[in-house]
A and B are shown apart, each in its own frame.
Chain A
Amino acid sequence: MNGSDVIIIAPLIAAIATAIAILVVDIVVPGRTNAVIATALIGLGVTAVVTLTVGSMPPTTAYGGAYKLDALTTFLDLLFVAVIAMTIVFAPDYLAPRRLPVAEFATVLVFAMSGAMLISASVDLLLLFLGLELMVLPGYLLAGYHKSDSYSTEGAIKYFLLGSFSSAIFLFGLAFVWGLTGSTRVADVASVLTQVVNHTLPFSPGLAMGFAFLTTGVAFKIAAVPFHYWTPDAYQGSPTPVTGYLSVGPKVGAFALILRLFVEALGPMKAEWLPVVIVLAATTMTLGNLVALTQDNVKRMLAYSSIAHTGYMLVGLAAYAGGQPQGLEGLLFYGAAYSFMNLGAFAVIAALQKRAGVTSQLATFAGLGRKEPWLGVLMTLFLLSLTGIPPTAGFFAKAVIILAAVQAGGWVAFLAVLLVVNAAAAAFYYLRVVVYMYMRDPASDAPPLRHGRLMWGGLTAATAATILFGLFPGLLLGMISAAAGALTAAG
């Protein structure tokens, strides 16, 4: 270790220091929610500033080429910081009535963020695995955060068992790829594969098996069909702010892993893995949407719809493999837009559940538009954005991916058609919630709830992002094309 290495990993250090600071605050003054949240937000702000400062340096590597600082790292780190900050802001309104502590929640969440940030910067298979574990282990704990609630623990155990099962599969693949290529560095794996593609090296069955296992492990993590079985229960059972985080943070983190793995390591073989991604994307978005249509529980419905969104993002990857680098830009833009709109939708559910005992059934939303007009308007906006209606961020995200897929041609263009059909089908179940909010009478006469200032602040941020990135996508596109450029230059 030397001085410049420490500077390059400064964002990671800032993230971990934030988590530790929250713990220390809770040790010194236990049970002070405001102090905890202030510490967390200040720490995250510092992390964002450090990320930006370090990110303005020219791209470099640290720790013998295992850790890479480039535009992709900076972009994803900032996205993770935003996601975690919003989740922490949304949490107290849900946690306080259920007597759940905020300090542990924030600490564990920030530790998960440091894992995601490690993924976004790793160009070494082993470090990618470590980052993945550091990201998902806190996720298991968070899913079971309401430990006296039997739904929460049930979701947690399903998430944990299938999650660690997939980690073992991923690791088995890693062992074989490492043993047969002789290195865990992404670039070395890529150079071996280039030789394989040029027929200067034989392609051993062990290597093929290794990549198959790696792909399966990652497919579990992003909940692609047919590896999605843990998703609905884990999402429905978890406390609502946690569900919001789980549907966004680990998903974007796992996509960061996919980018580093498929684009950088497996880049030379993209013609070979393209069919796999096409099949995964087609089944994932179709099945996710079909099952979402039949759900009466909004949290469960959004869980299935998040599976469908995974499929849309995979279309971006397929477009890249089909020869259109803009596909990666689409994937990254979709990840960012999806983060804000999905977190916003879950925040509205969490706000409604401030009154303990309120379920996330569709009936809860009846008459919401008249009873709590602001929440109704915001929920409508987020759902419209998830559907992909202009001028929201969701529309532009879908547009970029569809354009790239159409230009790629062939079977990828077929995926674009399937995406449009799916988005139309998805409109049905998203808009059903809107219909309930404005055309049904409220089920109970309970007076409207008062929501905390933090909740309103977080909702405002999510709304602003959803609208701004829809109206002025250029705000984000510059960073994203730099990030995608860094990826393709390496791959």
Chain B
Amino acid sequence: MIRVIVGAILAPIFIVGLGLIGLAAGGSRSLDAYLVLSGILFAIGMFGFLARRNAISMLMSIELMLNAVNLAIVAFGSFIPKLGAGGSVIALLVMAVAAAEATVGLAIVIAIFRNRKTPLVDEYDAMRQ
């Protein structure tokens, strides 16, 4: 019963808070903000790629990097009038390429998982001399 009451109090606060944050972000109409965000996302993806040992996690990190690129592209496209609709076209092409890459990557991960029974890349060291 108490959970329901607390939930009833917290939920509106949460929703209003999200709305306020959205307003604040929408209020700052600057290209740099988006580019910084894209750079941070790209860096997180890069860190994930370098730090994780699981092949699937590394694949996800690469996808995050590609999405960061897409954010930058869409931001450029919407803030710089001269670029026109180019941003949307490039972003969609990048999505298609990312999908193709993920398909190939997952197929390879499945193949090596069948051989080695582990997704951890630092155990793929059969050829190290």
Q: Which residues of B contact A73 (CB under 8 A)?
A: none
A145-161 interface (Cβ within 8 A of B): 147-151, 153-158, 160-161
Determine whether the beta carbon of B62 is less than 8 Å from that of A153.
no
Contact, CB under 8 Å: A182 / B108: no
Task: Provide the residues of chain A in CB contact with B97, threshold 8 Å.
Answer: 129-130, 133, 167
Contacts of B114 in A (CB 8 A): 147-148
Interface residues of A (CB under 8 A from B): 126, 129-130, 133, 137, 140-141, 144, 147-151, 153-158, 160-161, 164-165, 167-169, 171-172, 174-176, 178-179, 182, 184, 206, 232-233, 236-237, 295, 300
B127: contacting residue among A154, A167, A168, A178, CB under 8 A = A154
**Most interface-central of A141, A156, A157, A233 (chain B CB within 10 A):** A157
Taking a contact as CB atoms under 8 Å apart, the answer to whether A148 and B115 are in contact is: yes
Say if the beta carbon of B7 comes within 8 Å of chain A. no
Per-residue 0/1 for B106-118: is the Cβ within 8 Å of any A Cβ (1 yes, 0 no)? 0111011011100
Given A140-B104, A161-B55, A165-B49; A154-B126 close (CB under 8 Å): yes
Top 5 nearest A-B pairs (CB, nearest first) are A179-B76, A153-B112, A168-B65, A150-B115, A147-B111
Would A141 and B94 count as touching, CB distance under 8 A?
Answer: no
Other-chain contact of B101, A133, A175, A176, A300 (Cβ < 8 Å):
A133
In the bound complex, what is the Cα–Cα distance between A45 and B75 (angstroms)?
46
Q: Does B83 reach chain A (CB closer than 8 Å)?
A: yes
Smallest beta-carbon distance A190→chain B, Å:
18
Interface magnitude class on chain B: 35 or more
Do the beta carbons of A133 and B100 come within 8 Å of each other?
A: yes
B72 touches which of A130, A150, A172 (Cβ 8 Å): A172
Q: Are B101 and A167 in contact (CB under 8 A)?
A: yes
A-B contact pairs, 19 of them (CB 8 A): A140-B105, A140-B108, A141-B108, A154-B116, A161-B49, A165-B62, A165-B65, A168-B45, A168-B69, A171-B94, A172-B68, A175-B76, A178-B76, A178-B83, A179-B72, A179-B76, A182-B82, A184-B90, A295-B129
Interface SS of chain B: helix, strand, loop or mixed? helix
Q: What residues of A have a CB within 8 angstroms of the CB of B116 in the complex? A: 150, 153-154
* A156→B68 CA distance, assembly (Å): 26
Q: B58 to chain A: which residues have CB within 8 Å? A: 161
Residues of A near B73 (CB, < 8 A) are 175, 178-179
Chain A contact surface mostly: helix
| B interface residue numbers (CB < 8 A to A) | 35, 42, 45, 49, 55, 58-59, 62, 65-66, 68-69, 72-73, 76, 80, 82-83, 86, 90, 93-94, 97, 100-101, 104-105, 107-109, 111-112, 114-116, 121, 124, 126-127, 129
Max count, chain A CB within 10 A of own CB: residue among B45, B58, B124: B124
B129 cross-chain contacts in A, Cβ below 8 A: 295, 300
Contact B108 A184 (CB under 8 A): no
- Taking the closest CB of chain A, its distance from the CB of B34, in whole angstroms, is 11
CB-CB < 8 A to A130: which residues of B? 93, 97
B58, B76, B97, most chain A CB atoms within 10 A: B97
| B55 partner residues in chain A, CB cutoff 8 A | 157, 161
Q: Assuming A133-B101, A137-B104, A157-B124, is B112 touching A179 (CB within 8 A)?
A: no
Cα distance A153–B58 in the bound complex, in angstroms: 16
Q: Which A-chain residue is minimally distant from B124 (CB atoms)?
A: A154
CA separation between A174 and B66, bound complex, in Å?
Answer: 12
Is A157 within 8 A of B112, CB to CB? yes
Contact of A164 among B42, B76, B105, B124 (CB under 8 A): B105
Given contacts A156-B111, A165-B62, A172-B69, contact A232 B101 (CB under 8 A): no
A214 to chain B, nearest CB (A): 12
- In the complex formed, the residue of B with least CB distance to A132 is B97
Judge whether B127 and A236 touch: CB under 8 Å: yes
Smallest CB gap from A167: residue in B: B101
In whole angstroms, how far apart are the Cα atoms of A172 and B39 in the complex? 9
In the complex, what distance in Å separates the CA atom of A320 from the CA atom of B81?
37
Q: With A172-B69, A175-B73, A237-B127 as known contacts, state yes or no: A150 contacts B104, CB within 8 Å.
A: no
Given the interface pairs A126-B90, A172-B68, the reply to whether A153 lies near B101 with Cβ below 8 Å is: no
Docked-complex contact B104 and A160, CB < 8 angstroms: yes
What's the Cα separation between A151 and B129 when bound, in Å? 14
Q: Which chain A residues lie closer than 8 Å to B42 at the CB level?
A: 168, 172
A156 touches which one: B65, B86, B94, B112 (CB < 8 A)?
B112
- With the chains together, A237 CA to B108 CA distance in Å? 14
Residues of A within 8 A of B80 (CB): 179, 182
Q: How far is the CA of A151 from the CA of B105 in the complex (A)?
A: 17
